[in-house]
Structure 1
Amino acid sequence: MIDLASLAVLKGKKALVTGIANDQSIAWGCAKAFHAFGADLAITYRSEKTKRYVDALAKQVDASIYMPLDVQKPGELEVVFDTIKKKWGKLDIMLHSIAFAPKDDLQGRVVDCSKDGFLLAMELSCWSFIGMAKLAEPLMKDGGTLFTMTYYGSQMVVENYNIMGPVKAALEAVTRYMAAELGPKGIRVHAISPGPLKTRAASGLSDFDKLLQKAQAKAPSRSLVSIDDVGVAVAFLAMNGAKLITGETLYIDGGYHIID
Structure 2
Amino acid sequence: MGFLQITGKRYLVFGLANKKSIAASIAATLLEQGAEVILVVHSEARRQTAQRLFPGVPVFLCDVSEEAQISRVREEVAQQIAEAGGGRLDGIVHSIAFANYAAGIKPFHETPKNDFLQAVDISCFSLIAIANQFKELLDPDGSVVTVSISTTRMAATNYGYMAPIKAALDSSLCFLAKSFSAFSRVRFNAVAPSLLKTSSSAGIPGYIDSYLFAEKAMLRKRALTTQEAADTAVYLLSPRSSGITCQTIVVDGGMSVNYFDRDIVAKAIS
TM-score, normalization by structure 1: 0.90
Question: Does residue 34 of the first structure (1) align with residue 57 of the second (2)?
Answer: no
* 2:100 is aligned with 1:102: yes
1:91-146 deviation per Cα after TM superposition (whole angstroms, max 9, x unaligned): 11101111111124662222111111111010000000100111222222332111
Which residue number corresponds to residue 220 of structure 1? 219
2:60 aligned to which of 40, 45, 67: 67
Letter in 1 for 2:207: F
Contact 2:4/2:235 (<8 A) preserved = no
Of 74-83 and 21-30, more deviation after overlay is shown by 74-83
Offset of 1:213 from its aligned partner?
1.0
Shift of 1:85: 2.0
Residue aligned with 1:103, SS: coil
What is the 5 A alignment of 1:222-241? Answer: 222-241=221-240
CA contact (8 A) 1:30 1:227 kept: no
Specify which of 103, 122, 125 is matched with residue 124 of structure 1.
122
Return the offset for 1:233: 1.5
Equivalent position amino acid for 1:249 in 2:
T
Question: For the Cα contact (< 8 Å) 2:93–2:146, is it kept in 1?
Answer: yes
Partners of 1:187 and 1:197 in 2: how far apart? 28
8 Å CA contact 2:16–2:23 kept in 1: the answer is yes
Structure 2 residue aligned with 1:44: 40
Q: How many pairs align?
A: 253
Distance 1:87 1:104, change over 3 A: closer
Deviation of the 1:29 alpha carbon: 0.9
Aligned to 1:160, what secondary structure does the other structure show?
A: helix
State how far apart, in whole Å, the 1-side matches of 2:33 and 2:114 are.
Answer: 42
Per-residue CA shift, 1:137-188, capped at 9, x if unaligned?
2222332111111113522212311110111111111112212332461111
Q: Take 1:90 and 1:159, find their aligned partners in 2: how far apart are those partners?
A: 43
What does 1:1-260 align with in structure 2 at a 5 Å threshold? 9-59=5-55, 62-63=56-57, 65-88=58-81, 89-104=87-102, 107-183=105-181, 185-260=184-259
Within 2, Cα distance between the matches of 1:92 and 1:130? Answer: 17
Question: Aligned to 1:44, what secondary structure does the other structure show?
Answer: strand
Q: 1:50 to 1:106 in 2, by over 3 A?
A: farther
Segment drifting more, 99-108 vs 21-30:
99-108
Deviates further, 106-115 or 160-169: 106-115
For residue 92 of structure 1, give the secondary structure of its aligned residue in structure 2. Answer: strand
Shift of 1:48: 2.0
The Cα shift of 1:19 comes to 0.8
Query: In structure 1, what is the Cα distance between the partners aligned to 2:223 and 2:98?
Result: 23
Provide the C-alpha distance between the structure 2 equivalents of 1:8 and 1:35, rounded to a whole number of angstroms. 12
Secondary structure at the aligned position of 1:154 is classed as: coil
Q: Conserved in 2, the CA contact under 8 Å of 1:153 and 1:161?
A: no
Runs of 4+ displaced beyond 3 Å = 5-8
**Structure 1: which 5+ residue stretches go unaligned?**
none
Percent identity between matched residues is 26
Show the counterpart of 2:264: none
2-side partners of 1:122 and 1:166: how far apart?
Answer: 9
Q: Aligned equivalents of 2:169 and 2:66: distance in 1?
A: 21
SS in structure 2 at match of 1:43? strand
Report if the CA contact (8 A) 2:47-2:59 is conserved.
no
Deviation string 1:194-218 (CA, Å, 9 cap, x unpaired) is 1111211111211111111111111
CA contact (8 A) 1:106 1:163 kept: no
Instruction: Give the CA deviation at 1:6.
Output: 6.1
| Structure-2 change in CA distance of 1:143 and 1:244 (3 Å) | same
Structure 1 contact 8–38 (Cα < 8 Å) conserved: no
In structure 1, how many angstroms separate the alpha carbons of the residues matched to 2:18 and 2:171? 29
Which TM-score applies when normalising by structure 2?
0.87
Q: Is the 8 A contact 1:84 1:91 kept in 2?
A: no
